[in-house]
Structure 1
Amino acid sequence: MAQGNYYVPHTAKWPIVGSIGLFIMMIGAANWLNEASSGPWFFAAGAAVVITMMFGWFAEVIRESEAGMYNSAVDTSFRQGMIWFIFSEVMFFAAFFGALFYARMFAVPWLGGEGTGAMTNQFLYPGFEAVWPTNGPAEMGGSFQTISGFGLPLVNTLLLLTSGVTITMAHWALKRSQRGALIAWMIATILLGVVFLYVQMYEYAHAYKDLGLTLGSGIYGSTFFMLTGFHGLHVTVGAIMLTVITVRCAMGHFTKKNHFGFEAVAWYWHFVDVVWLGLFIFVYIV
């Protein structure tokens, strides 16, 4: 409804739908990690609800936008909302990077006898050497091999960096009202994201089957899959968003002066690129 010069959105059902989907996903993930047979099914059901929410909510906002229900004040609020959303995502990954750094720089050295951990090492874990990567004292996580950063991870880094270029080219094409080039660059960005996900799934299969590197491989395995797995989830979400925006571009949506929907997805994709660079350096290389 309209209130003065500002559009006040009507009561929406999609936030509660998304919350329910995420709740089901988390139940599934917890059971999956504990090897319950129902885990994958609950996780898949929750993911389906979340994806349905995304497409439903996108469609509703698109209809309102194309109907001219939004003005400059709403555009400003959308931009502020997206900035805060990306900030929350930065904090999300900062917590996981923090867990990695704490384990590597403090917890493992203490267990190895450094600093205040001398007594712990002497009486609880004698002989444990603080060498990274580690599967924990007494090799509780089992033996494993790490993945070289200059193999598939380097390929994925090049893929994502290239996708950052292609979406920037798409943005320039939109600003120049070059609809054909815009769609072509968007499709290229989506394909690069899909190939990235394929390479990551291949890497995961190789890690589990050939290297013994799993979520149960001590602190290294858990932090490795936690960071790269959540990043892969963000790439998946980003690819869905890019697909929606590409369809909108093909339908003639957006103009060179009014295209925040496109910009928001571009911001998110660049954020995903930057996070991967951090992962590549601190998880695979250093």
Structure 2
Amino acid sequence: MADTTHAHGKQHDYHIIDPSPWPFLASLGAFIMMLGAVAWMRFHLGQPFHLFGANLATPWIFVLGLAIVLYTMYAWWSDTIREGQEGAHTPVVSMHLRYGMIMFIASEVMFFVAWFWAFFDASLFPGELIQTARVQALGGVWPPKGIEVLDPLHLPLFNTVTLLLSGTTVTWAHHAMLEDDRKSLITGLALTVGLGLIFSYVQFYEYAHAPFAFAGSIYGSTFFMATGFHGFHVIIGTIFLAVCLIRAIRGGFTPHKHFGFEAAAWYWHFVDVVWLFLFFCIYVWGGWGAPVHAG
């Protein structure tokens, strides 16, 4: 009897996933969001969006797609957490999860390479950009003539210190978890989430008082795309860490089973490093020599 049980038991280190509806629902939600984004833009412009004989120019299609995606994320990750608690995440599976996170961060790096490429292409060769009816004249210099830049030693420096502190607190939380110090883990994560919220608020305030807009200037376009894309990642990372904080409060991590938090910490350190490049390249070097906005 024992031999029969052993023969039918799991004889490998891999995780054979049960049939799941979440990949299909995620694709469906993303498709509805794509249609909804077009419908929302048409609605914003006061134009119709005809599909299958109906005018779908409304923001609610996007909201529906977003709701499906968010629910799918919650349910799918809940299943992943449950599978890990049931022992499906063997050392081999855990290693592959780490490889997957590394590849994801590498793909994110390439996103930022695109924004930096656009910024340096415009800033290093301002004389080669042709003035059109929609692009402000650069005057052959960078920053373009007539642009007032943000003081890098004011709010940008404050946000730099904020993110560096958050990198310290998340590292403290990680070491606390490895030492099975649950109180310090929760404290470190709470501080990190709080610092992430402060960063997002300060950046929102900075955008609201910026002396230049997204449209009408290549400087504004490249600035807001690069810093705004990073700000979006800070928001995502803050949510990621907030979920880890809830799990830590519930006792969901152990010194040996904590890849969810480890992935969040990697992501947060990636966000920190990208911000340092943004701060020195766009705020400091990219605004050098231009008049500084007094506001």
Q: TM-score range by the shorter chain?
A: 0.7 to 0.9
TM-fit CA distance, 1:101: 0.9
Distance of aligned partners of 1:131 and 1:42 in 2 relative to their CA distance in 1, 3 Å threshold = farther
Is 1:249 paired with 2:258?
no
Corresponding residue for residue 195 of structure 1: 198
How many angstroms apart in 2 are the aligned matches of 1:40 and 1:200? 26
Is 1:57 paired with 2:76?
yes
Higher relative CO (Cα under 8 Å, sequence separation at least 6) belongs to: 2
Q: So what's the TM-score if we normalise by structure 1? A: 0.81
Corresponding residue for residue 109 of structure 1: 127
Corresponding residue for residue 130 of structure 1: 140
**Residues 14 and 57 in structure 1, CA contact (< 8 A), matched pair in contact too:** yes
* 1:1-286 alignment, distance < 5 Å: 4-25=12-33, 32=41, 36=45, 44-106=63-125, 108-111=126-129, 129-134=139-144, 144-207=147-210, 211=211, 213-286=212-285
Farther off after superposition, 22-31 or 250-259: 22-31
Which one has a bigger Cα radius of gyration? Answer: 2
Distance of aligned partners of 1:3 and 1:49 in 2 relative to their CA distance in 1, 3 Å threshold = farther
- Tell me the C-alpha RMSD between the 2 structures: 2.7
Q: So what's the TM-score if we normalise by structure 2? A: 0.79
How many angstroms apart in 1 are the aligned matches of 2:19 and 2:147? 52
How many angstroms apart in 1 are the aligned matches of 2:269 and 2:233? 11
**Structure 1 or 2: larger helix share?**
1
Counterpart of 1:14, as a letter, is W
Identify unmatched segments of 5+ residues in structure 1: 112-119, 136-142
Identify unmatched segments of 5+ residues in structure 2: 1-8, 47-56, 286-295
Q: Deviations over 1:241-261 (max 9, x none)?
A: 111111111111222122211
How many angstroms apart in 2 are the aligned matches of 1:34 and 1:157? 38
TM-fit CA distance, 1:49: 3.8
Distance of aligned partners of 1:97 and 1:25 in 2 relative to their CA distance in 1, 3 Å threshold = farther
Corresponding residue for residue 53 of structure 2: none
For the residue of structure 1 that corresponds to 2:186, the secondary structure is helix
**Residues 173 and 182 in structure 1, CA contact (< 8 A), matched pair in contact too:** yes
Counterpart of 1:222, as a letter, is S
For the residue of structure 2 that corresponds to 1:70, the secondary structure is coil
**Residues 13 and 91 in structure 2, CA contact (< 8 A), matched pair in contact too:** no
**Residues 27 and 39 in structure 1, CA contact (< 8 A), matched pair in contact too:** no
Corresponding residue for residue 290 of structure 2: none
**Residues 13 and 93 in structure 2, CA contact (< 8 A), matched pair in contact too:** no
Identity of matched residues, %: 46
TM-fit CA distance, 1:152: 1.1
**Residues 144 and 217 in structure 1, CA contact (< 8 A), matched pair in contact too:** no
How many angstroms apart in 2 are the aligned matches of 1:26 and 1:164? 34
**Residues 29 and 39 in structure 1, CA contact (< 8 A), matched pair in contact too:** no
Distance of aligned partners of 1:158 and 1:16 in 2 relative to their CA distance in 1, 3 Å threshold = farther
How many angstroms apart in 2 are the aligned matches of 1:206 and 1:39? 30
For the residue of structure 1 that corresponds to 2:45, the secondary structure is coil
TM-fit CA distance, 1:162: 0.5
**Residues 43 and 59 in structure 2, CA contact (< 8 A), matched pair in contact too:** no
Q: Deviations over 1:49-94 (max 9, x none)?
A: 4433332222111111112222111101101101111111111111
**Residues 180 and 255 in structure 2, CA contact (< 8 A), matched pair in contact too:** yes
Q: Alignment length, in residue pairs?
A: 262
How many angstroms apart in 2 are the aligned matches of 1:272 and 1:188? 16
Counterpart of 2:12, as a letter, is G
Distance of aligned partners of 1:276 and 1:53 in 2 relative to their CA distance in 1, 3 Å threshold = farther
